[in-house]
Structure 1
């Protein structure tokens, strides 16, 4: 197990270094001059030259990359050209909203996937209808699901809010930045329920597609495991159906589903950025959407690094969970 952890962590570090190098290279081939962007359109040539020297842009590329990498290791992502604030501070403001939405979307996806896989495998009543609803939902793009959800549950039924994170003006803003957690810590359960009501529609819009993909893989694995010899032996020993499912079937079927979960996490990151625009969700998607038109490369690179690091960490965690679920995995 220790060998598996060491290999996966080393691979994670290498991938993040490659991502950093790619972002640095894109910044260098970009026609936008960082010094000119920071000083404004009316800046003089001497002022731009002085700013380039201050930023170290007149140094050799290897020195610039080393300085860029050292700054990243210290948490310095540069200064946003648009907000004139450190990108790290901006991400500290916008990232908690995205993290909260991503966590709930992933939780919804896993719950729906398990219900789909186990329900159809064991032929629960209503499982076919549930499967049909999920498959229809997964066939539509997330933004279309989001719009349909707003029209049905907000405009027509009035059950759920359509935009924003909360409708409470004095909602707590710390210490985690996650409204559901901060509401519990502050004893503000009105904030918790309001935040949950705002999370349902965007989280489901992101989760339905990945839920079907994960559920189909899990169901296929469950069917294959149920037909295996050791499961038939467990039944022959007189074990109850629940014991067989928990002890033998589910655990031995998790590997492929965990792999699919890691792959779907990357798609969910992309889906979250789009969904944030539909629901006016104040996360990094909004921050990035406002930064792209003005060529705010530090902000764009900061968001890209954050999402890339999140994707790599999730997949590394999935690999380690596979090792726990199946001790035979050691590479």
Structure 2
């Protein structure tokens, strides 16, 4: 398996991703879409998710195709990003046909970035406009790090961010991941230098430093994020939200299994993961171009998705850039990498 030409989720043919952010707000939105609707499901493993229209994605629910997915900062306010995306889709005649109208189906998920130092004193919820702007910006190349939904993200020890990665399987199937990483846990070992995801790195995509040679890792850390957010409740100010995608033709239940398998990628890249204060979830989607030859092939695709997601989380933190008023340092500044 090797990364696709962009090493982005948009290596899956037909997918587009757009970002929008407000630097004063220290928040933003990322939207994944395509020219045609696509199959999707979702699996939630965190204890504090914030979502919209995700019940529709359960394997037994009626809707089988969606038009876009919105990942947003802003906690519950960020769910309004889906409305902006829906507005843009409706203006283009996209959506589920109901009589003489169409209803765009735009599931979404949010992360908590309300206490990251940005100006949150708005009169009108800004996320609807950010959602529409992100959709309008969608293309096959996009910025990682301090961008889109990852603009204000914070991991335990340094800034979080937006990450993506891809793999091309020997069968010809492409798999990709997109993530906004804002976890309670740490993406680096206690040295702050090595990434938990290091064993899965390809070609120095997040520094090429390799695994931490120390032993006895995984001990509890004093979280810089927790210290910076006191006296608030930092154990509730988190979440890693992700999308994994493939051009294999998957049914809605198979998209669900894809999402389940991809959660291993979160657990391999963040310690601890899936806590009661995280809203960790993964959307699984299929563009449906390549039929599976055997059911066993789904297992290989799920494994690839988990590897992509681990790498994407590390890339999100590795590529984060400093900004005025940051609560936490960037990984690059901790290690004198510009």
Q: What is the TM-score of this pair, normalised by structure 2?
A: 0.26
* Structure exhibiting the larger radius of gyration computed from Cα positions: 1
* Bigger fraction of residues in strand: 2
TM-score (norm: length of structure 1): 0.26
